[in-house]
A and B are shown apart, each in its own frame.
Chain A
Amino acid sequence: MLLEALTLQLGYNATLVTVGAMLLGIAAGATGTFLFLGKRALVSDAISHATLPGVALAFMLMVAFGGDGRSLLGLLLGSAVTSAIGLLCVSALTHRTRLSEDAAIGAVLSVFFGFGIVLLTVIQSMNAGRQAGLESFLLGSTAGMLWNDAVVIALGGTLVLLAVLILRRPMTTVAFDPEFAAGAGMNVRRIELAMMGLAMAITVVGLKIVGLILIVALLIIPAVAARFWSHRVGHVVLLAGAFGGAAGYVGAAISATAPALPTGPIIVLVAFAIFLMSLLIAPARGVLAAMLRHRHFQAQVHVRQGLLALATDQPIYERLTLRLMKRRGLVRADGVATETGQAQAARALLDERRWQVLRSDPAHAEAAAHYDGLTPLDTVLTPDQLKALDQGLGPRATT
Chain B
Amino acid sequence: MTGAEFVPLSLPPLVIGICAAIACAIPGNFLLLRKQALIGDAISHVVLPGIVLAFLVTGTLSAWPMMMGAGIAALVAVGLIEAVRRLGRIEPGAAMGVVFTAMFAGGVLLLEQSDTSSVHLDVEHALYGNLESLIWLDATGWSSLFDLEALAGMPPELWRMAITTLFVLVMCVLFWRPLKLSTFDEGFAQTIGLPVNHIGLGLVVTAAIAAVAAFDAVGSIIVIAMFICPPAAARMMTNSLEAQVLWSVVFATVSAVLGYVLAGYGPLWLGFENAVSAAGMIATVSGSILSLAAAFGPCRIRGGAPVEA
Closest to B87 in A: A287
Report chain B residues within 8 Å CB of A44: 97
Q: Would you call B177 an interface residue if the criterion is a C-beta within 8 Å of the partner chain's C-beta atoms?
A: no
Of the candidates A41, A93, A118, A271, the one whose C-beta lies within 8 Å of that of B277 is A118
Q: Determine the chain B residues whose CB is within 8 A of the CB of A93 once the complex forms.
A: 294
Once the chains are docked, how many angstroms separate the CA of A189 from the CA of B108? 37
User: How many Å from the CB of B243 to the closest CB on chain A?
Assistant: 15
Residues of chain B whose beta carbon lies under 8 Å from any beta carbon of chain A: 32, 35-38, 40-41, 45, 84, 87-91, 93-98, 101-102, 104-106, 108-109, 112-113, 123-124, 127-128, 221-222, 224-225, 227-229, 232, 235-236, 263, 267, 272-277, 279-284, 286-287, 290, 294, 299-303, 308
Report 17 cross-chain contacts, Cβ distance below 8 Å, ordered by A residue: A98-B299, A99-B232, A102-B93, A103-B37, A106-B41, A107-B232, A117-B221, A118-B281, A121-B274, A121-B275, A125-B272, A138-B127, A214-B101, A220-B94, A224-B90, A268-B102, A287-B88
Residues of chain B contacted by A228 (CB below 8 angstroms)? 88
Asked if A122 is an interface residue, CB under 8 A from chain B, the answer is yes
**A42-B97, A118-B263, A285-B88 in contact; A105/B38 too (CB < 8 A)?**
yes
Among A102, A109, A269, the residue within 8 A (CB) of B109 is A269
CB contacts between A and B, total, < 8 Å: 210
Known: A42-B93, A106-B227, A107-B290. A272 touches B98 (CB 8 A): yes
Given A138-B124, A269-B106: A110 and B101 interface contact (C-beta under 8 Å): no
A113→B105 CA distance, assembly (Å): 18
Binding-face segment, A258-266, A304-312, A314-322, A327-335? A258-266
Main SS of chain B's interface residues? helix
Contacts of B104 in A (CB 8 A): 213-214, 265
Interface string of A95-139 (1 = CB under 8 A from B): 111111011011101111111111011101100000000010011
Question: How far is the CB of A377 from the nearest CB of chain B, in Å?
Answer: 32
Report the separation of the CA atoms of residues A103 and B34 in the bound assembly, to the nearest whole angstrom.
10
Extra contacts besides A125-B272, A217-B101, A269-B109 (6): CB < 8 Å: A111-B229, A117-B283, A125-B276, A261-B113, A269-B102, A279-B87
CB of A227 within 8 Å of the partner chain: yes
- CB neighbours (8 Å) of B35 from chain A are 100, 102-103
Q: Are B294 and A97 in contact (CB-based, < 8 A)?
A: yes
Contacts of A139 in B (CB 8 A): 108, 123
User: A41 touching B290 by the CB < 8 A rule?
Assistant: no
C-alpha spacing A227/B263, complex, angstroms: 46
Question: Closest B-chain residue to A99, C-beta based?
Answer: B232
A138-B123, A214-B101, A264-B108 known; A285-B221 Cβ under 8 A? no
Shortest CB-to-CB span from B72 to chain A, Å, is: 20
> A112 — nearest CB in chain B belongs to which residue?
B287
User: Which residues of A, 15-60, contact B by the 8 Å Cβ criterion?
Assistant: 36, 39-42, 44-45
Cβ B101 vs Cβ A221 within 8 A: yes
Task: Say which residue of A97, A102, A110, A272 sits within 8 Å of B102 (CB atoms).
Answer: A272
Q: Separation in Å of the B309 CB from the closest CB of chain A?
A: 11
Q: Does A275 contact B (CB under 8 A)?
A: yes
Residues of A within 8 A of B94 (CB): 36, 39, 41-42, 220, 223-224
Most buried by B among A42, A105, A120, A285: A42
On chain A, the residues within 8 Å of B38 by CB distance are 42, 45, 102, 105-106
CB-CB nearest in chain B for A287:
B87
**Cross-chain contact of A125 among B40, B108, B274, B301 (Cβ < 8 A):** B274
Chain A residue with Cβ nearest B96:
A42
Smallest CB gap from A104: residue in B: B232
A96 partner residues in chain B, CB cutoff 8 A: 294, 300-301, 308
A122 to chain B: which residues have CB within 8 Å? 267, 272, 276
Minimum C-beta distance from B27 to chain A (A):
13
Instruction: Annotate A213-233 by CB proximity to B: 1 below 8 A, 0 otherwise.
Output: 110110011011001100000
A83, chain B: closest CB distance, angstroms: 15
CA distance A45 to B267 in the complex (A): 30
Contacts of A272 in B (CB 8 A): 98, 101-102, 105
Q: Which of B88, B102, B105, B106 is the most central at the interface, judged by chain A CB atoms within 10 Å of its CB?
A: B105
A residues in contact with B106, CB < 8 Å: 265, 269
Given contacts A96-B294, A98-B235, A285-B89, contact A107 B101 (CB under 8 A): no
List residues of chain A with CB within 8 A of the CB of B45: 213
Q: Are B124 and A221 in contact (CB under 8 A)?
A: no
Q: Smallest CB-CB separation from A223: which chain B residue?
A: B94
A113 touches B109 (CB 8 A): no
Per the bound structure, the CA–CA distance linking A264 and B123 in Å amounts to: 14
Query: Quick one: which of A106, A117, A120, A227 contacts B40, CB cutoff 8 A?
Result: A106
**Bound complex: CA A105 to CA B227 (Å):** 12
Supposing A98-B302, A261-B109 touch, asked if A111 and B283 sit within 8 A by C-beta, the answer is: yes
